[in-house]
Amino acid sequence: MKINNITAYISILIILFLSSCSKEKDPLTGKVKRYEPNVDKKVQAADGIFFNKKNSGGTTYDFATSNVLWRASLDTISFMPLSNVSYSGGIITTDWYGNKNGKEQIKINIRFLSDKLETASVVVTGFKKTCIASDDCTIKPTEYNINQPIKEKILLKARELSLQDKAKK
C-alpha cells in the first residue's frame, strides 16, 4: 500500500514537471515563440553585438593596443589604481584615490563612445569623496575644471600616440 502511494506521488511529480515544459508564449501577443534550431542561421540573423554589423563571414577584430584613445587614457591615469577596466564595454573606472590623510578622494570614470580621435569620443566624469570621519563621508560629482583637463590630456596623448603609430608605418 505504501508503494502505491509513493508511485502515485512520483507519477504526479513527473506529470507536473513535464507539463511545465510547454511552449513559451510571448506575453504581449500570446503567440508561441519559435526558436531557430540552426545555430549558423541564428548568428547570421543577429546584429553584431561586438562589431556593430551583420556577420558577413570576415570579421575584423579591434584590440586595445590598436586604439590610441584607450592607450592614452590608461597612460594618463596610470598613477591611479583601477577598479574596472572593460575594453569591450568601453569604460575605465579608477578606485578611490587621494592624499595621505584620506579626507578627500577622487574617482574617475572614462567612457568611450567611439574609437575615433575626436573630442566627442571620450566622456570623463569624476566623483569627489570628502570624509569628516571614517563613517561620515559625502560624495559629489566633480566639476568641469577637474574633468576637462583630464579629457584634454587624454586627447593630447592620443594625438601623440597616433603620430608615433603613423611614423612607424
Q: What is the pLDDT of residue 157?
A: 94
Burial class (CB in 10 A: 0-12, 13-18, 19+), 3: exposed
Q: What percentage of the chain has pLDDT greater than the value 70?
A: 69
Work out the burial of residue 81: count CB atoms within 10 Å of its CB; fewer than 13 is exposed, 13-18 middle, 19 or more buried: exposed
Pick the more confident residue, 14 or 124: 124
> For 76-124, how does the pLDDT look when each residue is reduced to its tens digit (9 = 90+)?
999 999 999 988 888 999 999 987 777 899 999 999 988 888 889 899 9
122's enclosing H/E stretch is strand 122-133
Q: DSSP for 63-93?
A: -GGG-HHHHHHHHHTTTSPEEEEETTTTEEE
Quick one: average pLDDT of 32-40? 62
Going from N- to C-terminal start, the domains of the chain cover: 64-168
